Amino acid sequence: MRAYANGDSTMKQHAPQESCPCGTTQPYEACCGPYLSGELVAGTAEQLMRSRYCGFVYRNEDYLLTTWHPQTRPSRVRFDERQHWLGLSIRETHPGSDDDREAFVEFIARFKVNGKGHRLHENSRFKKIDGIWYYVNGEFL
């Protein structure tokens, strides 16, 4: 008896052809994957926002902490085992007062807890340090 009925032992958390959890039509490997694996650094606040959402979906604590602004970074990220992320939609992205070094991304993330649907509507603030974007904090809307 094999462990997998279909005999595919290379099965991963996400199939290559599956579109990225962040809501684009691209596969994860061509979208947020390279950011979470550390191959690339997000070039825009929106890219960072999308990749951090994937960080929550895949419970990648290291990535979330690495991309958190040092001034607001927690010592660890606690994931709720009951929380299942369903999708992300970016509403608006706009620069902050500090032009190209600050940006805001308004989004709605949907998730389920114990079969019940919820929406997280937040305006997240991002700041750049030495050319790299970091998540600072968010305001619930």
Cβ at position 115, least distance to Zn ion in Å:
26
Q: Any contact of residue 50 with Zn ion (CB under 5 A)?
A: yes
Residues 6+ apart with CB under 8 A from 130: none
User: Of 4-12, 19-27, 72-80, 88-96, which part binds Zn ion (CB under 5 A)?
Assistant: 19-27
- The residue (of 59 and 82) whose beta carbon lies closer to Zn ion is 59
Q: Any contact of residue 103 with Zn ion (CB under 5 A)?
A: no
User: Of 2-10, 41-49, 50-58, 90-98, which part binds Zn ion (CB under 5 A)?
Assistant: 50-58
- DSSP 8-state secondary structure symbol assigned to residue 2: -
Q: Any contact of residue 32 with Zn ion (CB under 5 A)?
A: yes
Using CB under 5 A as the binding criterion, the count of chain residues that bind Zn ion stands at 5
CB 135, CB 68: distance < 8 Å = yes
Strands (E), 4-115: 83-96, 99-113
Q: Any contact of residue 36 with Zn ion (CB under 5 A)?
A: no
Q: Any contact of residue 52 with Zn ion (CB under 5 A)?
A: no
User: What are the residues facing 93 on neighbouring strands?
Assistant: 105
CB 45, CB 105: distance < 8 Å = yes
At 50, is the secondary structure helix, strand, or coil? helix
Residues that bind Zn ion (CB under 5 A): 20, 22, 31-32, 50
